[in-house]
């Protein structure tokens, strides 16, 4: 199995979790990947983030344990909170499923973090049943088949057509396929798309920390409308909507700068104010 370098293990709520800490000092930020994501695919978001950054593999991903129980956002939130508490993180970033896990945990602990970044949220309080979600079920079958080439082709087909021929994108697809084949991620791919992170989005109204929401136009898996709806309910929301082209492909530099500036202490840089949008 391909895994991130220099990772370590810690005890999670239902089994061992694989984590990687880079950098040192304050602030300390925990970063959570999306469904079928990984520590390596999450690290680019932290390129300009100061201090210590801790990345985790959720259950069934990488070398983290896979519990026998059901996959649900509450369990993912418990794992994310355990890692944040273990390293003393005061900031958090979640991508897609990771963003859902953050939202789920904030319901009962709205003041846990000083600053939050939600990247490409896919759902709030209503399950989805659309073509993009059904593609995840097809990916689950390919993961179970252990056919790395087929998994890589499927992942590549989910990326914007304008970037599929780029060597870096193809290398990403092959690397991620190697991490996924034969793992329990297949079970998550069949379960989580039918679930919603929250029973009621109004519960997020108690979150007072500033929240940067990153969305992208034309992304069927992560509709722009979901981020806009979250921006309406989160009191400290700052919404940034990027053009089509791959949020970490054509817009990697912009995303790096947005995340880095937002997660840098206010004493060293100006922070956007709630209500700013692009």
The 10s digit of each residue's pLDDT in 228-255 is 999 999 999 999 999 988 888 888 899 9
Q: Find the range with the poorest average confidence among 13-17, 104-108, 129-133.
A: 129-133
Q: Give CA–CA dist 164/153, Å, rounded.
A: 10
What is the token pair recorded at 22? 């880079």
pLDDT given for residue 5 in this prediction: 58
Distances (CA, A) of 139 to 128, 129, 159: 17, 15, 14
pLDDT over 50 at 74, yes or no: yes
Distance CA 54, CA 223 (A): 27
Distance in angstroms (rounded) separating the CA atoms of residues 166 and 162: 9
Reply yes or no on whether the pLDDT at 68 is more than 60. yes
Q: Between 25 and 176, where is the model more confident? A: 25
Four-way CATH pick for 8-126+200-262: 3.60.20.10, 3.40.50.80, 3.40.50.1820, 3.40.50.300: 3.40.50.1820
- Write down the pLDDT at residue 16: 96
Q: Is the pLDDT of residue 8 over 60?
A: yes
- Interhelix angle 167-180/148-157, nearest 10 degrees: 130
Q: What percent of the chain has pLDDT over 90?
A: 69
| pLDDT for 88 beyond 90 | yes
* 56 close to 97: Cβ distance less than 8 angstroms: no
245, 150 contact by CB (below 8 A):
no
Q: How many CB atoms lie within 10 A of CB 3?
A: 15
Q: Which of 264, 268, 271, 226 is nearest to 23 (CA)?
A: 264
Cβ distance 110 to 134 under 8 Å?
Answer: no
Q: What SS3 state is found at 237?
A: strand
Residue 275 pLDDT grade (very low, low, confident, very high; cuts 50, 70, 90): very low
Q: What is the mean predicted confidence (pLDDT) over 4-22? A: 90
Highest mean pLDDT (candidates 31-40, 126-135, 174-183):
31-40
* Domain range annotation of the chain: 8-126+200-262
The confidence band for 214, taking pLDDT boundaries of 50, 70 and 90, is very high
Is residue 149 over pLDDT 80? yes
């Amino acid at each position: 199995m391909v895994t991130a370098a220099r990772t370590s293990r810690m005890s999670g709520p239902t089994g061992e979790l694989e984590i990687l800490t880079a950098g040192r000092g304050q602030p300390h930020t925990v970063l959570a990947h999306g469904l079928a994501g990984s520590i390596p695919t999450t690290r680019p978001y932290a390129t300009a983030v100061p201090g210590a950054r801790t990345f985790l593999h959720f259950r069934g991903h990488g070398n983290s344990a896979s519990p026998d129980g059901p996959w649900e956002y509450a369990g993912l939130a418990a794992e994310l909170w355990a890692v944040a508490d273990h390293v003393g993180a005061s900031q958090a970033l979640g991508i897609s499923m990771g963003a859902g896990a953050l939202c789920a945990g904030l319901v009962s602990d709205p003041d846990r973090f000083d600053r939050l970044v939600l990247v490409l949220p896919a759902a709030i309080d209503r399950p989805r049943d659309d073509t993009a979600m059904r593609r995840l079920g097809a990916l689950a079958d390919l993961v179970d088949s252990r056919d790395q080439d087929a998994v890589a082709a499927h992942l590549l087909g989910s990326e914007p057509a304008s970037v599929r021929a780029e060597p870096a994108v193809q290398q990403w697809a092959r690397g991620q396929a190697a991490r996924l084949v034969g793992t329990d991620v297949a079970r998550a791919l069949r379960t989580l798309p039918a679930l919603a992170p929250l029973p009621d989005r109004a519960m997020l109204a108690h979150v007072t920390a500033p929240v940067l929401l990153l969305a992208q136009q034309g992304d069927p898996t992560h509709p722009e409308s979901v981020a806009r709806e979250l921006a309406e309910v989160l009191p400290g929301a700052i919404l940034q909507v990027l053009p089509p082209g791959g949020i970490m492909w054509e817009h990697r530099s912009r995303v790096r700068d947005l995340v880095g500036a937002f997660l840098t202490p206010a004493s060293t840089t100006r922070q956007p104010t709630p209500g700013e949008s692009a």
